[in-house]
Structure 1
């Protein structure tokens, strides 16, 4: 029989007594505080440099001809004047073209999102037959293009000139957006898709009822990219449209700018205010073009950074 001398055994360790008083706060080091200060200062300077041109454009849009020509307009309007706005906004053709832009942007963005999301989801399936071929076919279009004349001949032969499809279809898929969404779908948790398949969902059901609702960040980001691209587009209308009633608003503003620059009069503008219009028509046109996107951006800004990063981070 083996006996154990309890006196030789080490005493059980006692848990440390809880510290009393306020919780400990880890103070930042001097180097880290200096880094934060320098970082904040640099970011403020960068933001100021980015915002300055836009604020200057807004100031010039509301300034008089004399103040603009003298170079006294900086961040605050000088000689407040709305003549150019009145001429542009008082033209019925402007509102018709503005409506066209809204329709073109909504339809084109909807088609682009439908094609991009489905194509990207299919390419993200590693078991897809011919997957490398379809990826290569998409990537090849980033480096090789048929050219301006072949594209014009193709659109004309298909009978798409002077229609909305001449603007919508040629740019229906952006390969950059496609690759970002493909990368995001590849990192999507496969367990969720397997669970949905076990519950009896088809491939389309898994995509529309599981994958897309959980991909709001990247979808909102691509939605913003496409909407901005189609809203600012004018070259397609310049090539494929002859009827001014079908122009987007960017084409209207481009023609307005070209007319004033060449010295010709514009509808609603008399010879008395033509010099005023010529002085700030560039600022007014840029402001009217970018304003709707600025109003839209705050609603999807929270998805923007996370959407781009989710498509680039590997699990």
Structure 2
């Protein structure tokens, strides 16, 4: 794990921000999780296999690992995910999942050994029929410019073409969950809470000044919190975005992303200046499309505006 993603890790390590990210990612924006639902989980995973002499030890670290009520959620924001696509990602995550469940099982077994409450088969396995492990969810936040073209499931890594068709059903698959930020449609990003949406769109459009100017409008976030702003400026501070704005070389290296603050302020001012004209045009289009029988959701998608705005106009 490198230094570039440290601002993001610090940001999402906050229970409130992690909850917002999960609500947007897993629940389509439904405000289900709050900071009170989230607690820290051990980021380190250890595993061992084989007999004493040939025993192999494995250790893995998760970028972030939180407990959401009765579910463990692991979030990867690794340097390698920003630099290149990890073509072995399904295998890497599957290994971490196995270690997570073994870690839980060992804790349960230790409790039984202390309690001495198991007999027969349960004693041999050190796991009772009623014991249950907490589910583990793995999420990969991919921030690369290149579209994710690696495997998203284990079967895509296997030479299944070399075995008979009838045998394929016995080869277990394993899927992973990736949010490819720079190639995710805006309407999907708008399902995230405003601050998170704004941050993800800043990353997506860091090299597009015209789009950047309209981010507060597109994301629905007109009041950016200080920690969100600082995270964006720190994360994008040494990116190619500076070179795109003609600030390369020594000056560019020293720049602290004041350019982003300027763009945000310009976007706000431009939003005020264009707001009336755009509002009139949107209103005309909304009534026109509604007259053609389109639903509010369809109108919002067609015009790339929040559905709530369509609802306000029609009501």
Superposition TM-score tier, normalisation by shorter sequence: under 0.3
| Structure with higher helix content | 1
Quick check: which has more Rg, 1 or 2?
Answer: 1
TM-score by length of 1: 0.19
1 or 2 for the larger relative contact order (CA 8 Å, sep ≥6)? 1
Q: Which has the higher strand share?
A: 2
TM-score, normalised via structure 2 length = 0.19
